[in-house]
Amino acid sequence: MLRHLAEGEHSVGELAEPFAMSFAAAAKHVKVLESAGLLKRTIEGRTHRCRLEAEPLAEADRWIAYYQHFWTNRLDALETALLEHTHSKRKSP
């Protein structure tokens, strides 16, 4: 849904279409995304229009980028340790 909203404003019904889900299910998803601050919903008569609020995603991206180096190093160290362990087990009688 967020990727669809990145293309522009859409109604809840339009957001539901690509996922073959009911309007009610899509409305629940929209409420969760709205609660998370990821979209803004306006009501025009019976139509609920949604637009992406990208700043929380940009904030999450900055946080992930900050820690990416740390996790990459830790995962590389884990891989090395696992390879050493596997290699040492093969040498053992």
Structure tokens at 42: 């306006």
Backbone angles phi, psi at 54, to 5 degrees: -80, -20
| Better-scored residue on pLDDT, 85 or 87 | 85
Q: How does residue 89 score in pLDDT terms, banded at 50, 70 and 90?
A: confident
Per domain, the residue ranges of the chain are 2-52, 55-93
Domain 2-52 coded CATH 1.10.10.10: yes
Cβ contacts of residue 53 below 8 Å, gap of 6+? 37, 38, 39, 40
For residue 70, the model assigns a pLDDT of: 84
Cβ contacts of residue 49 below 8 Å, gap of 6+? 9, 10, 11, 41, 42, 43
Cα 29 to Cα 4, 17, 39, 59, distances in angstroms:
13, 13, 11, 21
For residue 92, the model assigns a pLDDT of: 60
> How does pLDDT run across 2-60, given as a tens digit for each residue?
999 999 999 999 999 999 899 999 999 999 999 999 999 999 999 999 999 999 999 99
